[in-house]
Amino acid sequence: MNEITPSSGGNNEPANEAHSHAPAQLGYSPVAEIPHRLRVTDTDPKAARRAERQVAAMFTLSMVFVILSVIAYVVIDKYAVLYIPVLGEVGASNVVLGLTFGLAVLLIGAGAIQWAKKLMPDVEVVQERHDMVSEKEDDNLAAANYERGKEESGFARYKMIRRSLIGAMALLPIPIIVVLRDLWITPPGENPTEILSTTMWTKGKRIISDGTYMPVRPEDLPVGGLVSALPEGILEVQEEEHNLNARGKAAIILVRMDPEQIRSQQGEGWDYNGILAYSKICTHVGCPIALYEQRTHHLLCPCHQSTFDLADSGAVIFGPAARNMPQLPISVDEEGYLIATQDFAVPVGPSFWERDKA
Amino acid sequence: MSTTTDHPVEQIGGATAKYVDQRLGSNKFLGRNLGKVFPDHWSFMLGEIALYSFIVVLLTGTFLTLFYNPSMVEVVYNGSYVPLKGVQMSEAYASSLDISFEVRGGLLIRQMHHWSALIFVAAMAVHMFRVFFTGAFRKPREFNWLVGVGLTALALGAGFTGYSLPDDLLSGTGLQIIRGILQSIPLIGTWAAFLVFGGEFPGTEIIPRLYAAHILLIPGIILALITVHLMMVWTQKHTQFPGPGRTNTNVVGYPLLPVYMAKAGGFFFIVFGIIALIGGLVTVNPIWLFGPYTPDQVSAGTQPDWYIGWLDGALRLMPNWESVIAGFTISWNVLIPSVVIPGILFTGLALYPFLEAWATGDKREHNLLERPRNAPVRTGIGVAAIVFYGILWIGGGNDVIAAAFNLSFNILSWTLRISLIILPPIAFLVTKRICLGLQRKDREKLLHGYESGRVLRLPHGEFIEVHQPLNYKELAVISAKEDLPVLPAPVKTDPDGVRNPSYRVDQLRHKLSSFFLRDNIERPTDAEIEAGQAHAAHSAGLEAPLHEYEELDQDPVGHGGVLHHPGMPMTNQEQVDQRQ
């Protein structure tokens, strides 16, 4: 290859000629023919002893920190709080354990590296590489063995055996895949499309506010206000089903705006005196939405910033969502509480393959 | 193995080695490998950081499994964290809170687990950059590159499944998004989502399932692949950077025992110790602030862990395309950013070594690393990919950035969308040009030496800039450049009029090879380099005699310029003659 001898360099001549080409001793690789500068610890025994003391000190300190960490574990109350500038109020136990244990570990590492750098040889040595490719002999041997195996088994001759074996092996994984079917133990008669397309909302279902779980009257909502709401009976359903599935679909937001400002809705008269109910679950990938700007009637998803105009049928005005926020038609019952007049007309939440078949 | 010392510990050690050797023949391996040479370079520590932080992940993770309860059964919290007292939550979340507040050292271990996971992925990414930009993936190391790509993908999976386990509001929102992504897959997506979640979202199955994946399946595969990764490094010996005494067929460095063992072993403790310090001092993922998961709540400014940020950014920046074909819905707005783009990126990564070798026709074995400047197209492609990734990553924080800098969110998003398309090609061109510029500079140095910056006026009035020869290290590094010829253009029909059957493929290959190699600045020949360096040495020599008179030049009655003294050469030629 392109071996350029360093001698043409002139002013950067190798600094010492300590490396003779002595025959390599057993266990020693030949020293690389590169200039090498001696360290202080190589020439000054005092410096070497100093380095030795440093390394030993680090290992000893590590032991001290181990003991301190055990003491800290026992002594410090686990609820004790410590004020540290910059960090603020922190758990005392956590900080002290982290510091003591961390330093105990770190010092072992620092000691080992100091030892390697100051006291162990820093002369680079050379080893030859060997090509990855096998010797011709091994190559031939492998090929011969393969041929023998092919011959003795008759894999090439017994066409029927070969084909049936390939077929058998190809089919074998099928049960492993099939058996995954019951990852969802499907209740009889149910299918995903239907489940995703229906929610708890039915005609006459009262709207209750999230948090207080009390039914909502129109007058509870000021113009410009937003309330997160749920169908009445949600807690009972959750209790019965032991999950939050119903909540994940039925969550809505109620907003009230001046009826004059409502430019369009998804259905004729789906509002009640300027009160609109929209699904709370984003049509992009399903984050709950509640960032509402009352002046512009824009609803912004905090996850991926899809923006919907609630005064205009919940249309997408920016961001990655493709579908309008589904609107829930509402009214009031004879007692004056807000109710749904039917379920959502379209599936709520993120799109899916069969969505438009629903 | 024979020992010459008589320390009792060594005697026991020697006896043990013999005992094991008689059963496994292990001394053969030790004899060959205890002196194995490893080359040294700071960038080789990146992979070590990844390995060591993974060990910390395993150790701390094992501790966490002793206390964590992967169950979505609802319980009422009654621990010591007052703000959540009496709140309904899953056992998974409650046990995560208990680890943080009731178990002494639990929060430290939890934070160390999280920090080391973040460092694990980060170190892998930077390690991958090192391997890519230095061409370490070239023959014979393509398989190890593939293993590395697999490990990177698995690390993302390990991170995400772990992030989801505490079942806090933030992690549950992440799962909600995963549900949306699964549903966007054509044909099978809806069913896939129902199978993964064991029914409707969120259900009660997902946490135990993620737990199985997180603590058994994924780490098991990672561990197996790391073993393969290291065994291949061991067998093939580590690559080395070009330098004095280093060739393609040797390895220059320190022996395993004791130097490399002390350095690498010590470095493990350093990584471990630093993670423990960070875990003690810096809060990560304060799940108690987020509250338990419920599908109808979310907090503003939600951010995933850093390594998922680019995927989230892709979801954010994608235009809202969706089509209905034959009654079926295809959500391009979700499918492209979260399935197609990562698919292309990882496939591209995996195939790159093979594509480059095919395009350049390079079949040589490479044990010397290539300086990034000497492969301008590869370096350009790498930088373009990083820019692409970086923009997606910025996109993942677009709301936070818009709020922090008071920018219009919509303008920021559009800027990023456009940048995503135009900036990578620009980055490619700029990088390539920079590389070529550096190559020219290298050629210049080889042919003329260093420009010392010292202007010299010769006795006869001529001004020259003194050039100095390169030092031996730089000379070895720069002159290690290897040039490949562009693959020749194929002929359509040979002189006998026979059509070349592989004409189109060969033509494509010729074009690709030309794309990769045509702008390359040729390395001077060895003779040219030697002549160039000799010339530089000569130029530096011209300056030397002048220094001999420097003390005399302190004379205050000088007459400007270079003083002339008796015996000093009058002309260039005279000076040269005198030197010789």
Tens digits of per-residue pLDDT, B19-50? Answer: 999 999 999 999 999 999 999 999 999 999 99
Q: Is B377 exposed, middle or buried (0-12, 13-18, 19+ CB in 10 A)?
A: buried
Across the range B247-270, mean pLDDT stands at 96
Across the range B326-332, mean pLDDT stands at 95
Sign of the Cα torsion B41, B43, B44, B45 reads positive
List C-alpha distances in Å: B192 to A246, A321, B135, B188, B201: 20, 21, 39, 6, 12
The pLDDT score that the predictor gives to residue B549 is 56
Looking at beta carbons, which residues of chain B come within 8 Å of A28?
A: 35
Looking at beta carbons, which residues of chain A come within 8 Å of B173?
A: 287, 303
Asked if residue B571 has pLDDT above 90, the reply is: no
The pLDDT score that the predictor gives to residue B299 is 78
DSSP A222-267: -TT-EEEEEETTHHHHHHHHTSSHHHHHH-EEEEE--GGG--B-SS
The pLDDT score that the predictor gives to residue B567 is 63
Asked if residue A286 has pLDDT above 90, the reply is: yes
Tens digits of per-residue pLDDT, B434-491? Answer: 999 999 999 999 999 988 888 888 777 888 888 888 989 999 999 999 999 999 999 8
B257 at A interface, C-beta within 8 A: no
- The set of residues, in sequence order, having a beta carbon less than 8 Å from that of B272 and lying 6+ positions away, is A105, A106, A109, B52, B55, B56
Tell me whether residues A316 and B537 touch, CB distance under 8 A: no
The pLDDT score that the predictor gives to residue B568 is 62
Asked if residue A88 has pLDDT above 90, the reply is: no
Give Dmax (Cα) for chain A.
106
The answer to whether residues B30 and B3 touch, using CB atoms and an 8 Å cutoff, is no
* Nearest-CB residue to B472 (from A9, A29, A97): A9
Residue A328 in 3-state DSSP? strand
Asked if residue B403 has pLDDT above 60, the reply is: yes
Q: How confident is the model at residue B69 (pLDDT cuts 50, 70, 90)?
A: very high
Asked if residue B552 has pLDDT above 60, the reply is: no
Residue A318 in 3-state DSSP? strand
Tens digits of per-residue pLDDT, B194-211? Answer: 999 999 999 999 999 999
| Calpha distance B205→B269 (Å, rounded) | 39
Asked if residue B347 has pLDDT above 70, the reply is: yes
Tell me whether residues A302 and B298 touch, CB distance under 8 A: yes
Kind of pairing between the strands at B250-255 and B37-38: antiparallel
The pLDDT score that the predictor gives to residue B3 is 46
The answer to whether residues B64 and B99 touch, using CB atoms and an 8 Å cutoff, is yes
The answer to whether residues B353 and B145 touch, using CB atoms and an 8 Å cutoff, is yes
Looking at beta carbons, which residues of chain B come within 8 Å of A93?
A: 104-105
The pLDDT score that the predictor gives to residue A19 is 45
The pLDDT score that the predictor gives to residue A182 is 95
Q: How confident is the model at residue B542 (pLDDT cuts 50, 70, 90)?
A: confident
Tell me whether residues A8 and B530 touch, CB distance under 8 A: yes
The pLDDT score that the predictor gives to residue B339 is 96
The pLDDT score that the predictor gives to residue B576 is 64
Q: How confident is the model at residue B554 (pLDDT cuts 50, 70, 90)?
A: low
Tell me whether residues B203 and A245 touch, CB distance under 8 A: yes
Asked if residue B1 has pLDDT above 50, the reply is: no
Q: How confident is the model at residue A18 (pLDDT cuts 50, 70, 90)?
A: very low
CATH of domain B37-241+268-370: 1.20.810.10
| Calpha distance B46→B133 (Å, rounded) | 14
Asked if residue A22 has pLDDT above 80, the reply is: no
- Any idea which of A9-23, A330-344, B166-180, B478-492 has the lowest mean pLDDT? A9-23
The pLDDT score that the predictor gives to residue B116 is 98
Q: How confident is the model at residue B572 (pLDDT cuts 50, 70, 90)?
A: low
CA distance A300 to chain B (A): 10
* Nearest-CB residue to B251 (from A115, A129, A290): A129
The pLDDT score that the predictor gives to residue B320 is 94
Residue A260: alpha-carbon gap to chain centroid: 46
Residue B567: alpha-carbon gap to chain centroid: 61
Structure tokens at A200: 């708890």
Asked if residue B574 has pLDDT above 80, the reply is: no
Alpha-carbon Rg for chain B, nearest whole angstrom, is 32
The pLDDT score that the predictor gives to residue A36 is 86
| Calpha distance B32→B29 (Å, rounded) | 5
| Calpha distance A7→B537 (Å, rounded) | 11
* Nearest-CB residue to A112 (from B190, B196, B269): B269
Tell me whether residues A320 and B316 touch, CB distance under 8 A: yes
| Calpha distance B264→B292 (Å, rounded) | 42
The answer to whether residues B533 and B470 touch, using CB atoms and an 8 Å cutoff, is yes
Across the range B285-305, mean pLDDT stands at 89
B4 at A interface, C-beta within 8 A: no
φ and ψ at B2, to 5 degrees? -110, 135
Asked if residue A307 has pLDDT above 70, the reply is: yes
Asked if residue A107 has pLDDT above 60, the reply is: yes
Amino acid at A207: I
List C-alpha distances in Å: A26 to A119, A127, B1: 22, 13, 12
Supply the mean pLDDT for chain B. Answer: 92
φ and ψ at A338, to 5 degrees? -70, 135
The pLDDT score that the predictor gives to residue A323 is 96
Tens digits of per-residue pLDDT, B497-533? Answer: 888 889 999 999 999 999 999 999 999 999 999 999 9
| Calpha distance B484→B470 (Å, rounded) | 25
The answer to whether residues B512 and B354 touch, using CB atoms and an 8 Å cutoff, is no
Asked if residue B327 has pLDDT above 80, the reply is: yes
The pLDDT score that the predictor gives to residue B89 is 96
Phi-psi region of A140 (alpha: psi -120 to 50; beta: other; left: phi over 0): alpha
Tell me whether residues A286 and B180 touch, CB distance under 8 A: yes
ipTM for the whole complex: 0.91
Phi-psi region of B521 (alpha: psi -120 to 50; beta: other; left: phi over 0): beta
The pLDDT score that the predictor gives to residue A297 is 94
Angle between helices B341-360 and B309-317 (to 10 degrees): 110
Supply the mean pLDDT for chain A. Answer: 91
Interface with A, mutate which of B329, B335, B452 (most A CBs under 10 A): B329
Tell me whether residues B315 and A320 touch, CB distance under 8 A: yes
Looking at beta carbons, which residues of chain A come within 8 Å of B272?
A: 105-106, 109
- Percent of chain B predicted with pLDDT > 90: 82
| Calpha distance A261→B29 (Å, rounded) | 82
Neighbours of B66 (CB within 10 A): 10
Looking at beta carbons, which residues of chain B come within 8 Å of A33?
A: 244-245
CATH 2.102.10.10, applies to A198-357: yes
Which residue bears the tokens 């996850």? A303
| Calpha distance A296→A257 (Å, rounded) | 10
Bridge partners of B450, per DSSP, are B468
| Calpha distance B121→B383 (Å, rounded) | 19
Looking at beta carbons, which residues of chain B come within 8 Å of A30?
A: none
| Calpha distance B396→B413 (Å, rounded) | 10
Residues 525-554 of chain B whose Cβ lies under 8 A from any Cβ of chain A: 526, 529-530, 533-534, 537, 540
* Nearest-CB residue to B107 (from A94, A117, A323): A94
DSSP A265-316: -SSTT-SBTTEEEEESB-TTT--B--EEETTTTEEE-TTT--EEETTBTTEE
**Domain extents for chain B?**
1-36, 37-241+268-370, 451-476+525-580
The pLDDT score that the predictor gives to residue B544 is 66
Residue in chain B nearest A78 by alpha carbon: B104
The structure's pTM equals 0.91
B327 at A interface, C-beta within 8 A: yes
The answer to whether residues A88 and B282 touch, using CB atoms and an 8 Å cutoff, is no
Tell me whether residues B37 and A353 touch, CB distance under 8 A: no
Asked if residue A24 has pLDDT above 90, the reply is: no
Looking at beta carbons, which residues of chain A come within 8 Å of B326?
A: none
The pLDDT score that the predictor gives to residue A13 is 39
Residues 305-324 of chain B whose Cβ lies under 8 A from any Cβ of chain A: 312, 315-322, 324
Q: How confident is the model at residue B569 (pLDDT cuts 50, 70, 90)?
A: low
